[in-house]
A = this chain, B = another copy of it.
Amino acid sequence: MEQSLEHKRHTLAHLLAAAVLVDYPHAKLTLGPAIDNGFYYDIDFSAETAPGDDDLKKIQKHMKKMLGHWIDFSHKEVSAAEAREVFTNNSFKLELIEEIAAKGETITLYTAGAGTKAEFTDLCRGGHCENPAQEIDADAFKLDKIAGAYWRGDETKPMLTRIYGLAFDTAEELKAYELQLEEAKKRDHRKLGKELGLFSFSELVGAGLPLWSPKGTQLRKRIDDFVQALRAEKGYENVTIPHIAKKSLYETSGHWNKYSEDLFKVRAKEGDDSDEYVLKPMNCPHHTQIYDAAPRSYRDLPQRYAETTMVYRAEQSGELSGLTRVLSITQDDAHVFCRESQLEDEIIAIWDIVDTFYGAFGFMLKVRLSFRDPATPEKYLGEADVWDTSEAMMRTIAEKRGADYFVGLGEAAFYAPKIDFMAMDSIGRTHQVATIQLDRLQPERFNLACINEAGEKERVIMIHAAIAGSLERFIAVLIEHLGGNFPLWLAPEQVRIIPVSDVHLSYATEVHAKLLAVGLRATLDAHNDSMGKKIRNAKQARLPYFMVLGDKEVAGGSVTLEGRNDTSDTVSLSAAANRLLAEVEAKVI
């Protein structure tokens, strides 16, 4: 976020605190930072009745009134003793003062609206507007909602009231953000997923474990088939691994030591350590064992293994939400085992796949080259010149492709740089999606090599390259990106045939069979409902197309093809089928 905007948001947190004290003089202030879309302040209302959502308007009114008086922001350094004096009744601030003092840092008090009835002083490190009244547009912020939050995020400590505000530079930006939120709510994948019958959850099965219906499974398959087809063109081959492995696999890979708490442990009998397995949290360790199952010559390289398979990571059940946080994550995973000299071609091939894949869904991609932080070379494993070469190569590729990229220093893994892709959706949100991750660590740990031209053992390098990433998360993003309006090639149900009445049913049955025969996912609505209801149902199901068949169509051997966007066209059955097949083939969005 721009520094000036951050200053505004931080200033507004102070203003919120000052406004709260008007009607709640016994409230104890704690901390109030700027955040991504505005600001919040955590306040202890244990000495009086805390405000509810209904009270936000009133507090906001106070804020706007006080803002006019805030024409400056001054500060002074104080001793710990002086600070304790000021906040003598506020145990939270006293705790903060002790901490600052213990670190030997300077304690500062910031005052806005000095000398006016809106004067307000708070313990603070600074970072505000110089003249809030002039700099802040009173129509560019608003209080948003109230939530609970533990003091310092620690559930053993007191529960505070958090008041959130939204704030932007201009009223237009605030409005746009609110529209985006509203649109996102309408497109919520949890709501649409249920309406469209794509997936469900069962209490018996458990939270975070989606069950995919036939329609949802169709959607998954279309997406995965697309990835696999793009991969096949680049020489990837599918492999198959089980979902468990002995603990020893993860001890060797290093995951056991680092992430043991996030791993699901598996055993048949309690307390039998020899029988301990791990439910795989990732696929790379298993794939190394397929690479290592046979001696490899340099002529066999690259080996490119792809597999769409579920991995499992233990999340707190409170953190599980729709498809974005699940326990069973389907990765369209792939690993390339190659020589250093083959890296560039392999990265370009993956980048091609990523571009084609996300382009087909209408996502704009932004790329972060995640490099090491040159200020802290000791944090990274391996020779500096190997890092330099890899990073320079990545930058050259990005340049050549004309990618919309930036460099993220310090964003590399400790063993190699990576390329991270961010997708911007149709309502302006960005989502971290695919990654191209070099890995020189696992080949070391698993001792993976090939025999080179000189007959010597040569260490290989691995590339991790999921495209959709997690199918669950990708589908959540996709549903919201498209508002559930899947393009024809993706739609689980592509076209529904609606006979006007029973006398048209036999023609409709014939049309249905013909569409199925050419490979279209067609259905026939033979229910006893009215035409109007059938059409409403088809629209509510967000079908790309439906066909209405009545006297005219039966007589002419034609169909009336109605599109989702109220297009309508009466054409011959074969013309309609060909039009749909061409639209599928071209993956029209």
Contacts and interface: CB of A to CB of B under 8 A. Distances in A.
A532 interface: no
A211 B327 CA distance: 23
A217 B287 CA distance: 13
A245 interface: yes
Interface in A244-296: 244-246, 248-249, 252, 261-270, 275, 277, 279, 285-286, 289-290, 292-294
Contact of A328 (B242, B264, B312, B314): B242
A266 B312 CA distance: 11
Q: What's the dominant secondary structure at chain A's contact region?
A: mixed
A76 interface: no
Contacts of A237: 214, 217-218
A206 interface: yes
Interface stretch (A83-91, A196-204, A337-345): A196-204
Contacts of A239: 211-214, 217
Contacts of A269: 261, 314
A290 B328 contact: no
Interface in A180-230: 197, 200, 202-206, 209-214, 216-218, 220-221
B242 A217 contact: no
A200 B243 contact: no
Contacts of A240: 211-212, 216-217, 220, 330
A292 B262 contact: no
Contacts of A277: 206, 264
20 contacts: A197-B294, A202-B249, A203-B248, A204-B246, A204-B289, A205-B249, A205-B286, A206-B244, A206-B277, A211-B241, A213-B239, A214-B238, A217-B239, A243-B312, A244-B279, A244-B312, A244-B328, A262-B268, A264-B266, A265-B270
The 7 tightest CB contacts between A and B, nearest first, are A268-B314, A242-B328, A214-B237, A200-B293, A212-B240, A202-B289, A206-B246
Given A210-B242, A211-B240, A244-B279, 8 more contacts: A202-B249, A205-B286, A205-B289, A214-B237, A216-B240, A217-B240, A262-B268, A269-B314
Interface of A: 197, 200, 202-206, 209-214, 216-218, 220-221, 237-246, 248-249, 252, 261-270, 275, 277, 279, 285-286, 289-290, 292-294, 299, 305, 310, 312, 314, 327-328, 330, 527
